[in-house]
Amino acid sequence: MTSGRYLPVGKSGCPQCGGLVSRRVLGSCVPLALLLGATLTHPATATTQYTVTALKFTVQTGGRSCTVDADLYRPSGAGRAPAVLATNGFGGSKNDGSTDAIGKAFAERGYVSLVYSGLGFGRSGCLISLDDPTIDGIAASQLIDFLGGKRSADDGTTADFVTLDSAGDPRVGMIGGSYGGAIQLATAAVDRRVDALVPMITWNDLAYSLDPNNAVGASQVPGAFKWQWTNGFYLIGEGQTLLEASLDPSRFNSLTCLHFVSKACDTIRTLNSGSYPADRTTELLSYARSVSPVSYLSRVKAPTLLVQGQADSLFNLNEATATYKALKAQGTQVKMVWQNWGHSGGMVAGELNLAQGNLETSYVGRRILAWFDRYLGKKSVDTGPAFAYYRDWITDPNGTYATADRLPSLSQKLYLSGDGKLVDNRAKVARGSRTYTNWLVPTSHSESSLAGMIGLPDPAPYDTEGTYLGWTSEPLARTTDVVGAPRATLKVVSPKAERTQGSGDAADKLVLFAKLYDIAPDGSKTLVHRLVAPVRVPDVTKPFTVTLPGIVHRYEKGHRLRFVVAASDDAYFGNRGIKPVTVVSASEDTGVLRLPVV
């Protein structure tokens, strides 16, 4: 990309933890009870700006009849107004301190806000169905019926004060994060009445999110199970009996799968088994994608502002990038912002925090307001550039975000030399080979995914000698800004993996972990946001390409880049058995690392 397409703009906003994911599922400054979705008591209130009315809606969805618990925020004053619909992050509820903050923030700005506890959470009924468009999306569509005057709440309340585009068609947008982000896309896929979406820090493909395989073109090969994140959420879901008193009977499934739909529990059991026989792998991938935007984005036509977090090992930047590219390719109006904070932390002063109401004073907040002004208010406003990203090395509060008219391209190549160097010219590659061997226990550490939730410190990332290979560049002659997802093309030799990979169980294929360190002159190293790229190699007899997680990072002058391939990572399930790996380098045939440098 040419530097002329990257322009500094104003700073985004929020000095403390908060956000849209039930106060974000991770964040050491957030009480554990709130992280687990315990309901806070917020009685219906009235202010000079808006009134709040608690409502119940009986919905038919997923073969069940259940009640949705909601709060209606109606701005003061006569006349109709556009509506904003929102629900909670996983484990939250309509009044978890984040979801209700959405209702308040937009009611204060003249929007009718309907916020509700998602199916299976808070005081809403039905099973947890992972934002399935055929279940959660259909339920949300019935709430849009209410906003459009086509139905009443269970107590007879009607909404005759929402702007209509036609009879029964309300002017309505959606906003929310994580679980409250994917529901927007699921709803828009089944209901064309949705006029605008702002999904934040959410997924594109749950198969990639929970069991990532970063090998390009290997969508039918399972990855490495992200066991900490996945089991953490599973326990939150199954623990609803302990978190909510007197649960609605519609929230119970069976003794072996208390509160989720059965296919979700089947998926968890397969992942935790450590085995991937063909039939169960097909079921796992099929179900995970059926409840993911990747399977239904072709039906999403509502203008979409994607906001994704850089500090996020659960739903990384690659997820939003995949959604962005799919929507753009089909002609859906879409723009994307990479803010700093995500599920793994990253909240800094000035970033968006709806609990603080800093919409007008944060960059992301202003982008959201403009999006709704344009598509809900029908105002002629500038909705901003196609792509914007937060830069943590900028200290000027008016310049933390840069913008571009497109995503950066892979513009710089580095080569893996046989002597462990990362060189900028193929002619500099030394012939040689090096080998690592995995142990039966993990020997590399990137993160403890749930450390923040339980208040424990997280050790710095490390790799154990003999269980990884690294390639290190010369000190950089100039600062190098990487914006996007690096890619590495590799060829490995592993006779043991070659013998076992055709067993019929994908768990016998080779697993490795690729990552990129920033090495300071004093030898200290930084793994940007602790992100790694798990790979289950489709076929070790052939070269393969790995897409690393997207990053926004400045490698300072004098620093070095170190590309690492490790045998394991303790945040993921790894190899079955011992599988030594050799990497051979020669100038005419060696691994290549490509970077999106701006």
pLDDT at 244: 79
Cβ–Cβ < 8 Å for 360, 309: no
User: How many whole angstroms separate alpha carbon 201 and alpha carbon 514?
Assistant: 23
Q: What is the pLDDT of residues 548-598, one digit of tens each?
A: 999 999 999 999 999 999 999 999 999 999 999 999 999 999 999 999 999
* pLDDT for residue 356 is more than 60: yes
DSSP 261-294: -HHHHHHHHHHHHT--BHHHHHHHHHHHHHTSHH
Q: What is the pLDDT of residues 120-160, one digit of tens each?
A: 999 999 999 999 999 999 999 999 999 999 999 999 999 99
Cβ–Cβ < 8 Å for 107, 113: yes
Strand partners, 535: 512
pLDDT at 450: 81
- Burial (0-12, 13-18, 19+ Cβ within 10 Å), 37: buried
Quick one: tokens of 525? 């190293």
pTM over 0.85: yes
pLDDT at 45: 57
CA 512 to chain centre: 22
Q: What is the pLDDT of residues 234-282, one digit of tens each?
A: 999 999 888 777 889 999 999 999 999 999 999 999 999 999 999 999 9
Nearest to 486 by CA among 559, 432, 555: 555
pLDDT at 357: 86
Residue located via tokens 């209130």: 45
Q: What is the pLDDT of residues 197-216, one digit of tens each?
A: 999 999 999 999 999 999 99
Residue located via tokens 């890619």: 487
User: How many whole angstroms separate alpha carbon 223 and alpha carbon 208?
Assistant: 8
Q: Backbone phi, then psi, for 80, in 5-degree steps?
A: -85, 155
Q: What is the pLDDT of residues 418-454, one digit of tens each?
A: 999 999 999 999 999 999 999 999 999 999 998 866 7
User: How many whole angstroms separate alpha carbon 72 and alpha carbon 94?
Assistant: 10
Residue type, 556: E
- Band of pLDDT at residue 32, cut at 50, 70 and 90: very low
Q: Provide mean pLDDT across the span 503-507.
A: 98
| HSE (side-chain half, CA atoms, 13 Å) at 575 | 28
- Band of pLDDT at residue 371, cut at 50, 70 and 90: very high
Instruction: Return the exposure string of 423-451: e unless at least 16 CB atoms fall within 10 Å of the residue's CB, then b.
Output: beeeeebeeeebebebeeebbbbbbbbbb
